[in-house]
A and B are shown apart, each in its own frame.
Chain A
Amino acid sequence: MKTHVSTAPLPPGLALQLAGIDKSFGAGDSLTKVLKQTHFDARLGELIMLVGPSGCGKTTLLSILAGTLHADAGDVNVLGSPLHALSEAARTRFRAQHLGFIFQQFNLIPTLSVAENVSVPLLIQGVRPAEAERRACEMLARVGLPEKTRERPGKLSGGQQQRVAIARALVHEPSLLVCDEPTSALDSENGQRVMQLLRDVARDPRRTVIVVTHDPRIYHHADRMAEMEDGKIFRVLHTPADIAAAHQLN
């Protein structure tokens, strides 16, 4: 039985607030509680990282705050919309309008050109193909790939593919950027370049970037860091200095 409490308006400066989130998978003897009364929030204009060991519930929490997974219990208030109370169709529309996604394996469609891949979120919103492609090319220029618009993703390096994915995530100017292990498939140099791009996005006070990672090489890019273990956030590091101290970063 799914239970939810009522949603209060978001406090000023917050992009999202999750409260009392429960999520289980399976049933009976195989029931696994992944999230246990988890609380989480993210502010506008920040890059917050969600870190923790594998299986601690990071990705499940990310899926719930992105509206791609329904919580068993708790409030999910994202950009003022109570996702837990919305229908599947309404959550789909919400994602199309307000969210940008960056996936671990890029998830670029191999049979489409780079520009076509980037234009997908605009096409989902109903933008005309020619206009969508024009804006996609502009965004590709902003991520440093103006000459790759006609290429197939398979012809690009891993770092370039992730930059295409970032262009796709930003092309419709979403308020919330959700990134799942964005550097895990990249070498150190490309990882830093990708994180710098995300870092720049998060300087916009209307945007929030949430990064799920367990790659310590990129921790220094975070404004804040929420650390998870066993389905709960056990510590939030509120400044880059706290993060550096806690994780012994140079």
Chain B
Amino acid sequence: MLRLALKMLFGDHAKYLMLISGITFATILMTQGAALFAGLMSWTSSTLRNVRSEIWVADAKVEQIGDTKPLRDVDVNRVRSVDGVAWAAPIFQGNLQARLFDGSSKLVTLIGIDSTTLAGAPVKMVEGALEDLRLPNTVIVDEFGVERLGEALGRPLRLGDVFEMNDREARVVGICEAVRSFTGGPYVYTTYERAVHYAPLQRKTLSFVLAAPREGLTPQEVSARIAAETGLRAFTEDEFMWSTIWWYVVNTGIPINVGVLVALGFIVGIAISGQTFYSFVIENTRNLGALRAMGTSTPRLCAMLVLQSLAVGIIGYGIGLGVVALLGHGALRIGKVPFLLLWQIPAGTLIAVLCISVFSALLGIVHIARLEPAIVFRS
């Protein structure tokens, strides 16, 4: 009987396609919206993945990685003096204009790392050597920067190419991998001392202090000690990432906009699928009544409806997820659209789709439960 239930569903091409379309559309809206949100949030904390450090020390008022309230240079030594700190190094982060070969300029995110230890250096070099950063007027550019800053040349940037920041020469000696930033500017790495020269003059220039715990101590323990002894704010890498993401959630309209998109997907799914499935059941009332008259039990009829509804849900979900994967693949290739498909997103969408399917089936079941088998004898 369950096989026949599926045949009844698949045989009604118009309703079947409508149901599949509704679930597919809902899946696309919900998954794409959530992946967009996850992608945006991952961009907000990109510096944390491009500059790896177990402990980040910032001004006491800092809440997120993009919010730099400069520290005094002596704060590096204050952090170093805290018991349990293995090492501490200064880091500069700032958004600057890079002046290109044709006179145009592009926004870049400049990272200045400690020239001695190179702490905070790019995680993976694609071309060139990290140590070349110690040569005069040198920078390392990320792969996005290679494209972006090369637009003026009409070709991707190469090692040895030169551009300017704050009227000072920056010669490319390396290309690295980096996660895209929320501001859209490519990452440019140089030494801390040089970064301070590239940046407009400021009284204080130290953005953060990077630190590591001594062996046997956890980053949580040491960051708590740093905060207690220096009065600065110390985060572990994870804490800083979540603090950054949470700041964007609370202080921007992103979650509301994306939430509306996801909710819209759910509502569209409920409305289209629920209504279409209900009308499918209504149109099949006489057939279902005949099955009941012929001796099909109510639980069996309900199981048939649930199977039909779940089949539509799973197929629509699969198609929708496939479309999102293709869109995501395209988005990642272009590189300009935030997209991060965490496993929790398809899992959450699946639960939402199953809820839509169960709701649709319930509408039909309520109708079937009230159905008198004698209806088949009425003309």
Alpha-carbon distance between A181 and B378 when the two chains are bound, in angstroms: 11
Which of B12, B289, B293, B296 counts the most A-chain CB atoms under 10 A from its CB? B293
- With a cutoff of 8 Å between Cβ atoms, the chain B residues found around residue A110 in the complex are 11
A83: min CB distance to chain B, Å: 13
The one of B3, B287, B374 in contact with A109, judged by C-beta atoms closer than 8 angstroms, is B287
Grouping DSSP codes into helix (H, G, I), strand (E, B) and loop, the B interface class, with mixed when no group exceeds half, is: helix
B interface list, Cβ under 8 A from A: 1, 3-4, 7-8, 10-12, 286-287, 289-298, 300, 372-374, 376-379
A223 at the interface (CB under 8 A from B): no
A101 touches B292 (CB 8 A): no
Q: What are 22 A-B contacts defined by CB distance under 8 Å? A: A59-B378, A63-B374, A63-B377, A68-B293, A68-B374, A89-B297, A92-B297, A95-B373, A97-B295, A99-B294, A101-B294, A104-B377, A107-B286, A109-B4, A110-B11, A111-B10, A112-B7, A116-B4, A121-B294, A124-B1, A124-B300, A129-B3
Q: Which of A85-139 contact B (CB under 8 A)?
A: 88-89, 92-97, 99, 101, 103-105, 107, 109-112, 116, 120-121, 123-125, 129
CB closest chain-A residue, reference B10: A111
A68 touches B372 (CB 8 A): yes
A69 touches B374 (CB 8 A): yes
A155: min CB distance to chain B, Å: 13
B136: min CB distance to chain A, Å: 79
B11 touches A112 (CB 8 A): yes
A interface list, Cβ under 8 A from B: 59, 62-63, 66, 68-69, 88-89, 92-97, 99, 101, 103-105, 107, 109-112, 116, 120-121, 123-125, 129, 180-181
B105: min CB distance to chain A, Å: 65
- With a cutoff of 8 Å between Cβ atoms, the chain B residues found around residue A92 in the complex are 292, 295-298
Alpha-carbon distance between A93 and B293 when the two chains are bound, in angstroms: 10
A62 touches B7 (CB 8 A): no
- With a cutoff of 8 Å between Cβ atoms, the chain B residues found around residue A63 in the complex are 374, 377
A168: min CB distance to chain B, Å: 8
Alpha-carbon distance between A103 and B294 when the two chains are bound, in angstroms: 11
The one of A94, A105, A120 in contact with B379, judged by C-beta atoms closer than 8 angstroms, is A105
Alpha-carbon distance between A179 and B4 when the two chains are bound, in angstroms: 24
B292: min CB distance to chain A, Å: 7
Alpha-carbon distance between A180 and B373 when the two chains are bound, in angstroms: 14
- With a cutoff of 8 Å between Cβ atoms, the chain A residues found around residue B8 in the complex are 109, 111-112
Alpha-carbon distance between A103 and B289 when the two chains are bound, in angstroms: 11
B377 touches A180 (CB 8 A): yes
CB closest chain-A residue, reference B300: A124
- With a cutoff of 8 Å between Cβ atoms, the chain A residues found around residue B11 in the complex are 110-112
Alpha-carbon distance between A88 and B4 when the two chains are bound, in angstroms: 24
Given contacts A62-B377, A111-B11, contact A99 B295 (CB under 8 A): yes
A59: min CB distance to chain B, Å: 5
CB closest chain-A residue, reference B291: A120
Given contacts A68-B377, A103-B377, A112-B4, contact A93 B286 (CB under 8 A): no
Alpha-carbon distance between A89 and B298 when the two chains are bound, in angstroms: 8
Given contacts A89-B297, A123-B1, contact A105 B7 (CB under 8 A): no
- With a cutoff of 8 Å between Cβ atoms, the chain B residues found around residue A129 in the complex are 3
CB closest chain-A residue, reference B12: A111
Given contacts A105-B286, A109-B287, A116-B4, contact A95 B12 (CB under 8 A): no
- With a cutoff of 8 Å between Cβ atoms, the chain A residues found around residue B287 in the complex are 107, 109
A107 touches B295 (CB 8 A): no
